[in-house]
Amino acid sequence: MIALQSVSKHFQHRGKPVAALANVTLDIAKGDFVAIIGPSGSGKSTFLHLVGGMLSPTEGKVRIENDSLYDLTSDQRSALRKKKIGFVFQTFNLVPYLTALENVQVPLVLAGLAEEEQQRRAESLLGRVGLSDRLDHKPSELSVGQQQRVALARMLANDPALILADEPTGNLDPETSASIMDFLVELNGEGRTIVMVTHDLRVAGRAKRALRLVNGSIQADGQARPMPGTSASPAEQTALSIN
Amino acid sequence: MKLQTLVWREIFERKNQLATSFLAILLGVSVIVAMKNITFYSEKAVAYQLDALGANILVLPKSASLQDYYSADMQNDEFPEEYVKRLTTSDLQGLDNLSPKFSIPVEVTGRRYILTGILPKNEFQAKAAWQSVSIFTRPEACGVAVDVPGLAAPAKEPLVRKRVVQTLGTNEVLIGADMATALKLTEGGTIQLMGRSFKVSAVLPQTGTVDDARAFTHLHTVQQMAGKGAVVNAIEIVGCCQQISQGLVQKINQLLPDAKVATITQIVDTQIKTNRMMSRLSLLFLTIIVLVGGASIANYMFANVFERRREIGTLMALGAGSHVVLRMFLLKAVWLGLAGGVGGYVLGSAMAAILGPRVAGVPVFPMLTPLFWAVGVAVLVCVVATFLPARRAARLDPSAALQEI
């Protein structure tokens, strides 16, 4: 599904180069659920934006299925995101002046769906995340948990095969976090590939595998390292071993 | 939902921030519309006044002194009638009606009156060479009779108003109002002038001028009675205001160097000055609306793009291409321009209707044409001013926009 080949990303900070990603080579298979963990500034978000086609690498290639992302034009990458990728943000990034229903409709508007179809699909998705009674509420009239669920519904609007989640539970209480993670696991169970960056090891533990990103490098060869003699899932074992 | 819905919602969400830019466009457009509106009716009113006055150019003998406009043709000196032919066969533009006159004093029952010879319109038309010019064709908006709503309609008698009559027999007279009253003359009656009998074909309405004590008959009859040959002592011309302002009087002077050419310069100059002032002010306000309004909108749009970085980044993450983002901002500019243009038109028309009678002394009514003009200018200014901020938004790096906040 996703293939990174010798990907590096350098930024300039006060005239000096800073390596956000350094020679990362990684394969993520279709249907995988990968947690990228690491401390702040380790390059997690850079990694996610790079995979999402929003940040070109300094070196290397990023492939989504058969498309070499950065051999496409900016508008072609936008079209690919619209078709195949769903984003979940830590701060939800809902449009503040639109209702929950309209927020979910945004990707459908961009996809050029008819208004009736947009409305039907948005209502269905909000029903799926348990917000059928909050269709006309603006983000400011919803709790943070509800806002993230609207964001999840919006992310699902175009039925993406790949979900990129940037600290999806970063602003949530433990109980709401758990329900959001349940939902992501459920989506992964439907065959969607999920790449999630987080600094929360418990959240990372819900993924199928976890990769540790330190100073722009994936530790080991990008594979999960199960801890022998434990009953924890491979991701939880990796998380614990990193910890 | 449509992309336009998103634009509308954003406008209403941040309407207070938009207010300054909207006001700049609204006020700029309204002032221009008001000035255009007032100018239009002011020009109409001046044209009406000139038309009601009659001739606005006089060709007189070189020795003539111009004390009273209406009695200017009563000179002792004269010049050849051939001058009329020179005028009608010249290529001068802007000569509307043209009336040669020859006046002599007459005494009736002990009172002095003036007998004025005029050439009826049908005799101009009968001369083939004189038809080649545009005399009597009265070009559009050129010294024409103008009906201005709210002002009294001008008198209908063509001699009073246009200084010409269609037909006039050699033994027919038109009698001025005061003369008719004093001599108890009515239409169809007869009068003896210098031993010659004339039939009264019409009594002219009161004008309040020396014309009220005149009798008009055929030019050639008066020439015979005076025994001076084919001469006249005045040619009255209704000149087109626009052409007068472009030097018609000087051109007539060049054509007839042995005659004196006078015009009602005060009225024409006033109109020209008013028009020039309005034109300059309109240009000034157009510059202001382009510079101040445009700068205000550009400033607002740049701030709006900066404020909405995360929203734009999110839309891009959701698959919005650069053209979608560009369209969002340009649509907003179009709506702003439409609202400013229509609002400016309504406000400007109201201002013109209220201020017109006080500023220009003319009643002013709303006109439809400035609406299209106002909307066109407002939309153009908004779109041009928004283009750079919109392009910046469209080129925004979504990753940077999402990370930096």
As a whole number, the mean pLDDT across chain A is 86
- Whether A45 is in a domain gets the answer yes
Give the single-character DSSP code of B221.
H
Its domain, for residue A45, covers 32-53+73-242
Give the count of domains, chain A: 1
On the question of pLDDT at B125 being above 60, the answer is: no
Within a 10 A sphere around the Cβ of B296, how many other Cβ atoms? 19
Q: Where are any strands of DSSP class E within B204-243?
A: 214-218, 231-232, 234-239
Would the CB atoms of B9 and A49 count as touching at under 8 Å?
no
- Whether A81 is in a domain gets the answer yes
As a whole number, the mean pLDDT across chain B is 80
The C-alpha atoms of residue B388 and residue A115 are separated, in whole angstroms, by 31
pLDDT of residue B62: 83
On the question of pLDDT at A18 being above 90, the answer is: no
- Whether A18 is in a domain gets the answer no
Would the CB atoms of B324 and A110 count as touching at under 8 Å?
yes
- Whether A124 is in a domain gets the answer yes
Would the CB atoms of A154 and B318 count as touching at under 8 Å?
yes
Would the CB atoms of B318 and A83 count as touching at under 8 Å?
no
| CATH assignment at residue A170 | 3.40.50.300
- Whether A19 is in a domain gets the answer no
Residues A61/A70, Cβ–Cβ less than 8 Å = yes
**Interface residue ranges in chain A relative to chain B, Cβ cutoff 8 Å:** 45-46, 49, 52, 54-55, 74-75, 78-79, 81-83, 87, 89, 91, 93, 95-98, 102, 105-111, 115, 118-119, 154, 158
pLDDT of residue B17: 81
- Whether A8 is in a domain gets the answer no
Residue-wise pLDDT for B129-152, tens only, equals 444 444 444 444 444 443 434 434
Residues A167/A39, Cβ–Cβ less than 8 Å = no
Confidence band, pLDDT 50/70/90 cuts, at residue A240:
very low
Q: How far is CA B196 from each of CA A58, B199, B225, rounded to the nearest angstrom?
A: 113, 10, 9
The C-alpha atoms of residue A76 and residue A82 are separated, in whole angstroms, by 10
- Whether A188 is in a domain gets the answer yes
B2: chain A residues, CB-CB within 8 Å = 109, 115
Confidence band, pLDDT 50/70/90 cuts, at residue B270:
low
Range name among A101-105, A199-203, B176-180, B381-385 with the lowest pLDDT average: A199-203
Within a 10 A sphere around the Cβ of B362, how many other Cβ atoms? 19
B313: chain A residues, CB-CB within 8 Å = 93
pLDDT of residue B330: 96
pLDDT of residue A222: 43
Count Cβ–Cβ pairs < 8 Å, chain A vs chain B. 85
Residue-wise pLDDT for A176-208, tens only, equals 889 999 999 999 999 999 999 998 888 898 999
Give the residue carrying structure tokens 């066969």: B89
- Whether A68 is in a domain gets the answer no
CB proximity list for B240: less than 8 A, separation 6 or greater: B93, B94, B95, B96, B139, B142, B143, B248
Confidence band, pLDDT 50/70/90 cuts, at residue A156:
very high
Q: Give the predicted TM-score (pTM) of the model.
A: 0.68
pLDDT of residue B137: 44
Range name among A78-92, A140-154, A215-229, B53-67 with the lowest pLDDT average: A215-229
Confidence band, pLDDT 50/70/90 cuts, at residue B275:
low
